[in-house]
Amino acid sequence: MRKIFRNEIFNPLRRNLCSLGKLDKYGGLHIDLTTRAIQGNGLSDKLLHLCRLRRSFPTAVWVYLNQDHFHLIPCLCKPSPHGPGLVFHHATGLSVTLFRWLAEGPCRVPEFATHQLGVAAVLVSPALEHVVMVRERAGSSGFKGWKFPTGLAHLGEDISSAVLREVYEETGILAEFSGILALRQQHAFPGCFGRSDFLVACRLRLPSACEELPSIRPCKKELSDGMWMPMTKLRSAQVHSVIKDLNSEQMACSENIHITTFTSEILRLLSPSKPASSAMELRQHRFDSILDGHWYDLYLPR
C-alpha cells in the first residue's frame, strides 16, 4: 500500500466505505456486484458519500455489473452532485464496468480496447558498447530486475512517438527513432483487463550532435534506478523466464544482473560480432489511405 494512503485508511468512515470492495495497488476501489448482493440504493448513497470526499484515497472507484444488476445503472450513473457520477468504461457480453476517477488532476485510467500496445526503448550507444537499462519500482509482473524503458502508447499515438516519449519521461534522454526490432504478443495480460498485449521493441539512436553519452535522470515515480549498462555485463546476466525463480526483493538487492528472456533475445540482435544487416529493422513509412483525409504507417524492412 502506498504511503500516501496509509493514514487515511484508518479513518473509520473511509474504512467502512472501502469495505465495499477490494483495493488495488494504485489505490483504486473495486466493487464486484457479480459476486455479492448489495442493495442498489444503499450502494448509490455510499458511493455518493465517497465521491464527495474527493481526496487522494481512493484514486478511483470501479463497479462491475452483470445482467442481474443493469437496473442499477441509472442510479449509479446519476451525475454529480446528486449522484455518484459513474461512467461506462467498457462492456463485454452481459457484463458492464463503470468507474469514476476521484484523484486530483486528469484521469489516468487507460481507455478500454481489445489489445494494448506497449513500446520498449532499445537505446544503444553508437559503438554498441552500452545500452540504457532501468529498474521499475513496481510492475504488473513483480519483476525487479533490469529492463528496457517501456510504456504504453496513447490512443492515436504513433509507435515512434510513443517510444521517444517514454524514454524521455523515464530517463530524460532525447533520442531518435531508428526502427522496429521485434514484436512480443501476450494474451490475458494482467495489466490490460485480461486482454491481449503487444510490446514493440524499438531501436533508438542518439542524435548525431551527441559527442558523449547523456546522463540518465530516472523518473522517481516509476523507476528505482537507471544506467548506461555495459553490454559485456549484460551478456553474463542471469536470464529468467519464470519470475518465481528468484524473490523480487533478493533480485533488487542482488549484485548480479537479472533480466527476462525478452530482454536477452533482443540483446542477441545487437551483438557487435553480427553483420549490421542481420539485425533487420522495420522502418516507418507513411502513406495516404484510400479513406479520404486519412493516412497510415507501414513498417517495412529497410
State yes or no: pLDDT of 248 exceeds 80.
Answer: no
Please give the Cα distance from 171 to 246 (Å, whole number): 27
Please report the domains of the chain, with CATH numbers, ordered by start residue: 12-101 (3.40.630.30), 115-271+292-299 (3.90.79.10)
Closest residue by Cα to residue 134 from 189, 177, 173: 173
Name the more confident of 90 and 7. Answer: 90
- In sequence order, which residues have a C-beta less than 8 Å from that of residue 257 and are 6 or more positions away? 145, 146, 229, 233, 234, 236, 237, 238
Look at 34-43, 108-117, 177-186 and tell me which has the smallest mean pLDDT. Answer: 34-43
Residue 197's DSSP bridge partners are 116, 186
**pLDDT tens digits along 178-223:** 999 988 888 876 667 777 888 899 999 999 888 899 999 999 888 9
Q: How far is CA 172 from CA 28, 149, 228, in A?
A: 29, 11, 13
Rounded Cα–Cα distance for residues 15 and 19 (Å)? 6
Cα distances (angstroms) measured from residue 32 to each of 36, 48, 273: 7, 17, 55
pLDDT at 296: 77
- In this structure, the number of other CB atoms found within 10 A of the CB of residue 31 comes to 20
Q: Which residues contact 248 (CB under 8 A, 6 or more apart)?
A: 142, 143, 144
Q: Are 89 and 98 in contact (CB under 8 A)?
A: yes
- pTM given for the model: 0.65
Residue range 141-168: mean pLDDT, rounded: 90
- pLDDT band of 16, cuts 50, 70, 90: low
Q: Do β-strands 28-32 and 60-66 pair in parallel, antiparallel, or remain unpaired?
A: parallel
Percent of the chain beyond pLDDT 90?
32
Q: Which three cell numbers stand for residue 264?
A: 536477452
Q: Residue 66 — pLDDT band, cuts 50, 70, 90?
A: very high
Instruction: Name the range with the highest mean pLDDT among 88-92, 135-139, 163-167, 183-187.
Output: 163-167
